[in-house]
Amino acid sequence: MTSTYQRLYRALSYVFKDENLLKLALTHRSVSGNHNNERLEFLGDSILGMIIAE
């Protein structure tokens, strides 16, 4: 666990197995060209929509 994310881990009471996935989730598209959270955002929105529709 790197010190960069220790406070977040403590606040969430969760430790991510893949820290790169966490970095991706926290990266806005204005900061990075291709490596950003848009695909994860789309996936999350789709899953929530499916759950709500059921």
At 8 the three-state DSSP class reads: helix
In a domain, 9, yes or no: no
E strand segments, 1-54: none
pTM of the model: 0.61
Number of domains in the chain: 1
- Is residue 11 a part of any domain in this protein? no
- Give the integer Cα–Cα distance in Å for 24 and 40: 8
d(CA 24, CA 41): 11
Check whether 1 has a pLDDT greater than 60.
Answer: no
Does 2 fall in a domain? no
Note down the domain range covering 30: 16-53
Please compute the mean of the pLDDT values over residues 11-16 and round it to a whole number: 91
Check whether 51 has a pLDDT greater than 70: yes
